[in-house]
Amino acid sequence: MSGNNIEDRFDRKIAEMGIRIKDVDQLKVRDDVLDEITLVSLHRLAHKKWITAIGGSISTGKEANVFFAERGDEKLAIKIYRIRTANFNAMSEYIIGDRRFAGIRKTRKDIVFTWTRKEFSNLTRAYESGLPVPRPLVWDRNILVMEFLGYEERPFPQLRSAHPDSPERIYEEILTFIKDLYQKAGLVHADLSEYNILMGDRMYVIDMGQAVTPDHPRALHFLVRDIANVNRFFGHKCQVRDEREIFSEVTGITQQAKI
């Protein structure tokens, strides 16, 4: 099915559901994500009134596109994982070994569906533990609907392009997040960097799809990498703590050697 046909069908079906399309001219990447499976999921979410309006693209990542949306007066973010182009081999590294998702079939479609469910589960665990992540609302196949983090329709800036008044305070907040995520939510982010930390009224962490539980075979390796990424970014902005000390404080394990 051609991109134009997909767009025409999308517009028609969304209109039939009573869903407004905001900023049509900004919806340039939709032909890259709106395959038949995604259309079915969107229709179901619209039918259940999870979505009342869809706007322009918030971000385009390696595996997914995020769109602004609304549910009445509530501002939402819709994350759509691309089934046709997602790197399911890279995704598998974070799913295989996670006992919560054992036994899934290893097709591209099943990996993407599991990844979406996994991100929803991880966000739920973190949010219910009181951590600064977007509130997850619902998921369907390859679509995740969550709280929008931003002003008006503009998302909060990533840490990499923000200029916090006190780098020391943000650094300590991020270390506290790493510790609380591990000890309270039972998770390791596994891809923490200045690209998935947003700076708004407070610090928020996003992109939780790859997060793993501490019993994952590579959990401690991922934790070491997260700590190293944070120290690398803040190394020229403020005094950073010893990585082994941080690791031990988070896990209660004395790090004797590189994991």
- Start-to-end C-alpha separation, the chain: 47
Catalytic residue, chosen from 207, 215, 226, 242, is 207
DSSP assignments along the chain, one per residue: --HHHHHHHHHHHHHHTT-EE--GGG-TTHHHH--HHHHHHHHHHHHTTS-SEEEEEEEE-SSEEEEEEEETTEEEEEEEE-TTT--HHHHHHHHTT-GGGTT---SHHHHHHHHHHHHHHHHHHHHHTT-SSPPEEEEETTEEEEE--EETTEEPPBGGG---S-HHHHHHHHHHHHHHHHHTS--B-SS-STTSEEESSSEEE---TT-B-TTSTTHHHHHHHHHHHHHHHHTTTS----HHHHHHHHHS----S--
Among candidate residues 11, 35, 180, 191, the one labeled active-site is 191
Q: State yes or no: is 207 an active-site residue.
A: yes
Catalytic residues: 191, 207
